[in-house]
């Protein structure tokens, strides 16, 4: 039997949350059936949970604010932003209301709010529908960032976000939606996966578990296919072994489960889709340099999109966004520099 598609898994997770607790709400544009959301993540849900799934006007700021109010009143609220690019319109509600309210009243105020952000390019939607905006939300006190992963049941990630008691952004790579979940430790004929912690927060992909790897790639869920493809070429054509770490939680980052592996690797490379400058990877690299200074053979390598808008035409978009070849080139270059 083939595994379910990532979007089916996501849909099932959302249904599970709505089913388990009638005080769970799902709000967003065009969520209701028969449309079921721009990427069909909410298909069937408004029919099954009519009072809990609400299609809204095109009002990102107010919708996230309404969800913040529902959360303030003790509910669990999930918002789907149609394209993550539009989450900028809710920046005030996320940063100044939801995130701050957890602590700014001198008491701990749970705000169980999840803002789902369909993210990333490679679909030719052009500059305002293709961005990866994770970096703009880092370092906001009280706010956690998660990302959809083909290695982890989304329900587990949702439970983790809700249990945190604070607002979370959940980035969902749009290309990942239609790909399949990985099951039973199998990625493909060469690569396997497991999890570094019991909760399955960090997935690890490897081809050869024996020796210390030449490289560890750290990447969020949206980069998995490109990272695996790069690791495959490097294994076959360059005789370089890569392991890939895929954390479900991007920020704040928990280094504990990954440190043993990072210590063993000749190179650590952080891969992401955001544009250059002030990236997630830069933040991780800085922390890793601090944690492993003296043990690192070379600086942590960053791979990200170019400092550019994301063009619509496929060939131009490819020239801006991270490709498997970009990763391979960066790893080889870094390893060549002793």
Nearer to another protein, 69 or 124 (CB): 69
Among 20, 21, 59, 123, binds another protein (CB under 8 A): 59
CB of 110 to another protein, least distance (A): 11
Nearer to another protein, 101 or 243 (CB): 101
Contacts of 181 (CB under 8 A, 6+ apart): 3, 4, 5, 6, 9, 150, 151, 153
- Classify 125 as helix, strand or coil: coil
Nearer to another protein, 104 or 291 (CB): 104
Q: Does 56 bind another protein (CB under 8 A)?
A: yes
Applying CB under 8 A, which part among 101-109, 171-179, 224-232, 256-264 lies near another protein? 101-109
From CA 53, how far away is CA 227, in angstroms rounded?
A: 36
**What does the block give as tokens for 327?**
């990763």
From CA 226, how far away is CA 200, in angstroms rounded?
A: 21
**What does the block give as tokens for 183?**
């099951």
Please give the residues from 257 up to 286 whose contact with another protein meets the rule CB under 8 A. Answer: none
Q: Does 252 bind another protein (CB under 8 A)?
A: no
Nearer to another protein, 100 or 129 (CB): 100
Please give the residues from 125 up to 144 whose contact with another protein meets the rule CB under 8 A. Answer: 141
Number of residues that bind another protein (CB under 8 A): 36
From CA 127, how far away is CA 149, in angstroms rounded?
A: 24
Among 30, 33, 61, 225, binds another protein (CB under 8 A): 61
Among 8, 30, 72, 195, binds another protein (CB under 8 A): 72
From CA 276, how far away is CA 281, in angstroms rounded?
A: 10
Tell which residue, 18, 3, 154, 157, has the closest CA to residue 77.
18
From CA 20, how far away is CA 155, in angstroms rounded?
A: 12
Helix (H) or strand (E) holding 302: strand 301-305
CB of 118 to another protein, least distance (A): 21
Residues that bind another protein in the complex, under the rule CB under 8 A: 51, 54, 56-57, 59, 61-75, 77, 92-93, 96-97, 100-109, 141
């Amino acid at each position: 039997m083939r595994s379910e598609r990532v979007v089916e898994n996501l849909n099932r997770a959302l249904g599970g949350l709505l089913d388990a607790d009638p005080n769970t709400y799902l709000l967003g544009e065009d969520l209701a059936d028969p449309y079921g959301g721009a990427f069909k993540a909410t298909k069937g849900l408004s029919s099954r949970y009519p009072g809990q799934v609400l299609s809204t006007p095109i009002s990102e700021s107010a919708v996230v604010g309404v969800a913040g109010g529902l959360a303030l009143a003790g509910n669990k609220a999930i918002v789907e932003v149609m394209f993550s690019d539009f989450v900028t319109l809710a920046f005030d509600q996320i940063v100044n209301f939801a995130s701050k309210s957890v602590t700014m009243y001198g008491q701990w105020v749970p705000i169980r709010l999840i803002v789902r952000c369909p993210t990333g390019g490679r679909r030719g939607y052009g500059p305002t529908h293709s961005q990866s905006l994770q970096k703009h939300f880092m370092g906001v006190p009280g706010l956690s960032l998660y990302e959809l992963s083909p290695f982890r049941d989304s329900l587990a990630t949702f439970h983790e976000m809700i249990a945190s008691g604070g607002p979370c952004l959940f980035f969902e790579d749009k290309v990942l939606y239609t790909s399949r979940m990985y099951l039973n430790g199998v990625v493909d004929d060469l690569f396997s996966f497991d999890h570094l912690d019991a909760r399955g927060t960090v997935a690890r992909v490897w081809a050869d578990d024996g020796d210390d790897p030449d490289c560890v790639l750290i990447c969020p869920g949206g980069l998995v296919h490109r990272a695996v493809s790069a690791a495959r070429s490097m294994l076959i054509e360059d005789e370089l072994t890569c392991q890939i770490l895929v954390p479900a939680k991007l920020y704040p980052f928990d280094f504990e489960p990954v440190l043993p592996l990072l210590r063993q690797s000749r190179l650590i490379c952080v891969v992401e889709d955001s544009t250059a400058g002030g990236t997630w990877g830069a933040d991780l690299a800085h922390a890793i340099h601090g944690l492993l200074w003296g043990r690192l053979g070379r600086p942590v390598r960053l791979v990200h999109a170019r400092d550019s808008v994301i063009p619509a035409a496929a060939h131009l978009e490819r020239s801006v966004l991270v490709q498997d070849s970009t990763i391979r080139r960066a790893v080889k270059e870094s390893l060549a520099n002793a």
